[in-house]
Chains A and B, each alone.
Chain A
Amino acid sequence: MASSAVRASRRSRPVGRRHPLATVALLLVGLVGTGGAYALFTSSATAETSASAEALVEEGGKLFAANCATCHGLNLEGSTQGPTLIGVGAAATDFQVGTGRMPLAATGPQAEKKPVQFTDEQVQALAVFVASQGPGPAIPADMYLTGEGYDVSNGAELFRINCAMCHNVAGAGGALTEGKFAPSLDGVSAKHAYEAMLTGPQNMPVFNDTNLSPEEKADIITYLKYLDETPSVGGFTLGSLGPVSEGLFIWIFGLGAIVAITVWLTAKSN
């Protein structure tokens, strides 16, 4: 009901091509159009892509030289500021750049998620460029990322065994040493989750395909999707942090409410 009200109020605002967001919308339509067409083009006709792939590598190379080479070196050889990227593959590039972790805003305990600095095409171009410089894990196929048709209970078990010690059983995240941390998995896209498992960004271990097969990774992604989409049955989760938030809650709000009531009960009537 609330959303329909919002929609109604949006509709009542001035519309038309002079709308301040018209350019943005136009840009978006254009980008989605080209991006979609490109995706269609690359996935359906691999033979014809060689020419555009070359163009993509070239574009990626330019972007790399402008945005990444300061630390990672013009030939991906790395420097004292950043590791070599030869052999990290398209998956690692897509994850790091696609989640906004790269380019790094500032050095710190670890690169943190932030608004993505490039368009999807540019991310794609960078990934293709990095992959062209040395073989590495590729961007996962869509069939593993749907979160459907896979074994959710196997995914949950694998998650508890392999992921929960850092990311917490509910994917709420957890602390690592020296200020590093395992981030919350809430709202992480299937593609990025898969790439993270495959490439082990930051402090995360690599779960290669012999360690966790693509099907098993897909199971885990199915479970993450289940966690994301299923509302909590018990009510508000208090951050899924377990007994600490529950204890704080009972002391502050539970006992707080009770003490307020005792004060009220024993107050002198005036």
Chain B
Amino acid sequence: MTTTPTQDAPSKTRGQRFTSAAANYIDERTSISGAVKELGRKIFPDHWSFMLGEVALYSFVVILLSGTFLTFFFQASMVEVHYEGSYAPLKGIEMSAAMASTLDISFDIRGGLLMRQVHHWAALLFVASIGLHMLRVYFTGAYRKPREINWLIGFVLFILAMAEGFTGYSLPDDLLSGNGLRIIDGMVKGIPVIGTWISYLLFGGEFPGVDIVSRLYILHIMLLPAIIIAAIGVHMLLLIINKHTQFAAPGRTNNNVVGSPIMPVFAAKAGGFFFIVFGVITLIASTFSINPVWVYGPYDPSPVSAGTQPDWYIGFADGALRLVPPGWETEWFGFTWSFNIIAPLVILGLFIAIVAFYPFIEAWVTGDKREHHIADRPRNAPTRTAIGAAGVTFYAVLWAAASSDLIATHFKLSIEGVIHSCQALLIFGPIIAFFLTKRVCIGLQKKDREIALHGYESGRIVRLPHGEYIEVHEQLDEYERWKLVNFTDYKPLMIRPNAEGKITTGQRVRASASRWFFEDRIAPVSQKEIEQSKDGHH
């Protein structure tokens, strides 16, 4: 894609002359050409799933822009005021300045409602695209060495994005956000011994107090965004240092990256893509209402609306609370132990920790110290894909449980039935998903193997001279076959004594984990097998 520079200077147009003069001016003063040369040749492979992280980045930019607009008008204060704006059903109602200013942004400031909706929809898209991006990285094994650190940073970004979302959701001080905070307060208070202290510290006294909005505001607009921007910086830096992964194809090896360079192709595409993402968000924001705080009204600790849910990314935690069986509470040593809170906290904490450290766990099990730059097809790592499917199922059940009441009303079910089904699914769903996915992966691998060795069925039936009918199998060409046969294959680790001649417990655990991971496997087709199968045909 490189363009050769024009040889003869005099034939340059005025525009070109200006560009080269300007570039020269800047380069002589900053020596930036070195960086541009390095960075400009960074290669991005073309695959749609590699653009999901970009979506997250661009929606974050949209969030920053719209959020800045909102800060001009939002008052992060819980001072009591009487609303006197233009929304009739709240006129004269006592509320916090935060709520009143949110209403003013929505009704009395030009473009305010659009900006609020852009900000909120972009936030939902931000977390959703991060989630999908993580799933892509997971299922293609793109977190393997040397990218484990970047997975961890990405994970931190995911948690920070959720924190940003939740703090933002709580700022307007409307009924919905106040109820969300009340649940957080309840969860914090459910932590034994220290819970009540933490709650008082957080809210500056008994819930809801008069401080929480301004505290969350500082987190929301300063601390969290600053950390997110820094983490995005490191994330992108590591992306450049580690280079992109790519799917196996002819000419693509572990030592190269095939795709378009940043300059000029990718930069143009990415710039255009930013505006497309911005456009999609704006289109949604201008046609679909989101978080109509005026309907919810100001926060008041007594009312709770039916269908009170957090934004989607906190839904799994809400679902976990809803699925706890009743009566999980006892008193030990003079303290109340609310296992209905502690159990979800512990389970969710474990789940999140497994997500964060999975690359390290897998690296330990495989004992693989090699660098991997070729992305796996999910089927070629059946156990990993199956674990992922189990995790997705677990998360999805929790997520669905958060909308148990809406599932009940919309599908004419009883809410108890929905909850009990979710409880059963939470335990059995991941197990079923694991075995099903593993079987499907192995089946697909077998199919791939067969196609690589014997070609695909052409549907052409030929009658041989002696009357036999055969279906002609068309062989794949070399390029197509390469995609099917080129993947890393692992075998279960052998238990080996260490330097002192001992077999440690760690070794045993590792060997059994490795066996569990890799005992069901389909070996990739070898060159020898391909040649043999060709001989068989001819």
Contacts and interface: CB of A to CB of B under 8 A. Distances in A.
A170 interface: yes
B125 A164 contact: no
Contacts of B107: 233
Interface string A241-256: 1111011111101110
Contacts of B113: 233-234
A161 interface: yes
B129 A247 contact: no
Contacts of A161: 300, 302-303
A265 B307 contact: no
A20 interface: no
A121 to B, nearest CB: 34
Interface in A84-132: 109
Nearest to B297: A160
A177 interface: yes
B93 A168 contact: no
Given A169-B175, A175-B406, A265 B304 contact: no
A253 B284 CA distance: 9
A101 B482 CA distance: 68
Contacts of B307: 168, 172, 174, 241-242, 244
A32 B405 CA distance: 42
Nearest to B180: A243
A178 B416 contact: yes
Interface string B48-72: 1111100100000000000000000
A253 B125 CA distance: 10
A232 interface: yes
Nearest to A162: B303
Nearest to A112: B412
B487 interface: no
B123 to A, nearest CB: 9
Nearest to B312: A247
B405 A160 contact: no
A161 B303 CA distance: 5
Contacts of B312: 243-244, 246-248, 250-251
A192 interface: no
A240 B134 CA distance: 31
B230 interface: no
Contacts of B310: 243
Given A152-B88, A175-B406, A243-B312, A169 B296 contact: yes
A228 to B, nearest CB: 12
Contact of A240 (B295, B309, B414): B295
B264 interface: no
A156 B292 CA distance: 14
B286 A235 contact: yes
Nearest to A260: B48
Contacts of A255: 55, 125, 128-129, 132
B287 A235 contact: yes
Contacts of A174: 305-307, 405, 409
Contacts of B106: 233-234
A173 interface: yes
B229 to A, nearest CB: 22
A242 B289 contact: no
B284 A254 contact: yes
Contacts of A236: 287-289
A157 B292 CA distance: 16
B44 to A, nearest CB: 10
Interface stretch (B149-157, B273-281, B387-395): B273-281
A156 B89 contact: yes
A243 B318 CA distance: 12
B280 A261 contact: yes
Nearest to B51: A262
B124 A177 contact: no
B88 A258 contact: no
A226 B117 CA distance: 23
Interface in B412-437: 412-417
Contact of B289 (A157, A237, A244): A237
A266 B128 contact: no
A226 B289 contact: no
Interface in A139-187: 152-153, 155-157, 160-161, 164-170, 172-179, 181-182
A224 B91 CA distance: 16
Given A165-B306, A244-B309, A175 B409 contact: yes
26 contacts: A152-B89, A157-B297, A164-B305, A165-B306, A167-B306, A169-B176, A169-B295, A174-B307, A177-B414, A178-B415, A178-B416, A233-B106, A233-B289, A240-B292, A243-B176, A243-B312, A244-B406, A250-B124, A253-B284, A255-B55, A255-B125, A258-B125, A259-B52, A262-B49, A265-B269, A266-B46
Given A243-B176, A250-B125, A262-B48, 19 more contacts: A153-B88, A156-B89, A174-B306, A174-B409, A179-B414, A234-B113, A237-B289, A238-B288, A241-B307, A242-B307, A243-B310, A246-B311, A248-B312, A254-B128, A255-B125, A258-B280, A262-B51, A266-B46, A266-B50
